[in-house]
Amino acid sequence: MKKFFASVVLFLVCASVVAQTEESSHQESSYQEKLDYIYSIRLNDINEAKRQLAELAQELNNLSKPQRTQFYNLRAHSELIRGNIQESLGYSRKAESLANKYDFVARAKSLQVVALASSGNYQKSFIELYEILDRIDEIESAELKQSILQNALSQHTNAGIFDKSQELIRMILAQAKRNNSDYYNCFGFLELALLNLTLGNHKQVQFDIDSATTECRKAQNNMAYLTLDVYRAKLSNETGKTAEAKRIYEQQYPKLKTFGWKSMLVDAQIAMAEIYLELKELEKIEPLALAAYNYAKEVNNIREVRDSSLVLSQYFTEIKDDDKAGFYKNKYLEAANELNTQLQKKRIAYYQAMNYRAVKKQSEKEEDLVNLESEKKNNLPVRGEFKSPHP
């Protein structure tokens, strides 16, 4: 009877352990599904991704180590896209410290590269970027490779290193073609359109937009659709089609506000204010330009401070408010000078980073030669060289 009772107790204990294991496994799977879902909407529904991350933060201690790594990378991305640079750096560094595979490390460091550049630490940003690019073949995820290449492209374009930008775009499109990726074909052509807009190659921009439209329809990405329309509006405005640019911006503005991508929204606010100034629709200018100016000051985006303060200066000149016109003209001149200095700093930082890499490689090469000579002197087998046991 005692043996029977002991057997029953043992059976119940084992059953309980199995049930707990199954429940734990199910819970872990549920968390993974949620992380995957947040990742899938991170560019399509920024606000929902933020809400879901806030919910998941309450369960953080129940996540496995790889899941916590994914969570911190997603949180870093969410903060970065909203302009919260220091918060993004903090989360990405947490992700890097937890990472147990190189893909997680590379994703975290790629986010840090963007955050460092955004905070003005250009040289370190370029150094870390090239450290990732040196090991890009070690990355398993094709999507992550593309993302890193796109971040690299943006950084070089912002520094005016356009020859490297063109090289990176070719790499992005080639990678997208190899992986048969509509998503990255879409964003590759969008990047090409932006580069040609920057360079003033308007005929090429139209071709890029047409190519991107075909690919972005297949990718079905909301951020891509909004970006396409903004680029269409920019092209129309720069080629003298002001009414068409106005129509596109006014149609897309509510969507931009809802979507939550602040930098794109501010860019649209400035462009719309400039168009209203040209068309003498003066009552619409100040709310847009002032909102853009205040946000640009808050996040220290010098380019947007320059552009928004210029349109505010012109607006107040138009309505004969000389004090405010003078104030914003001074802000414009300050920002324009600072932006020119910033561009030079970025270019110098790029070349300093390249020099740092060259010196480091030369130092490593010399160290290898010293070690090789030392091995020879000590009559040790040279690394990588087969030594027969029967001389």
Give the start-to-end residue ranges of the domains of the chain.
32-140, 278-348
- Give the Cα separation of 264 and 262 in Å (integer): 5
Q: How many helices (H) does the chain have, and how many strands (E)?
A: 16, 0
Nearest to 158 by CA among 346, 353, 355: 346
Identify whether the C-beta of residue 140 lies closer than 8 Å to the C-beta of residue 106: no
Give me the tens of pLDDT residue by residue for the chain, a chain 391 residues long. Answer: 555 454 544 444 444 444 444 455 556 678 999 999 999 888 878 889 999 999 999 999 999 999 999 999 999 999 998 888 899 999 999 999 999 899 999 999 999 999 999 888 999 999 999 999 999 999 999 889 988 998 899 899 989 999 999 999 989 888 888 888 888 888 889 989 999 998 999 999 999 999 999 999 888 888 898 999 999 999 999 999 999 999 999 999 999 988 877 888 999 999 999 999 999 999 999 999 999 999 999 888 899 999 999 999 999 999 999 999 999 999 999 999 999 998 999 999 999 999 999 998 888 888 878 777 777 776 655 444 433 333 3
- Give the Cα separation of 208 and 195 in Å (integer): 10
Nearest to 228 by CA among 245, 210, 244: 210
Q: Which residues lie below 8 Å from residue 234, measured CB to CB, with a gap of 6+? A: 197, 245, 271
Identify whether the C-beta of residue 78 lies closer than 8 Å to the C-beta of residue 42: yes
Other beta carbons within 10 angstroms of residue 200's beta carbon come to 9
CATH number, domain 32-140: 1.25.40.10
Q: 54 vs 50, 65, 83, 209, CA distance in Å?
A: 6, 18, 17, 36
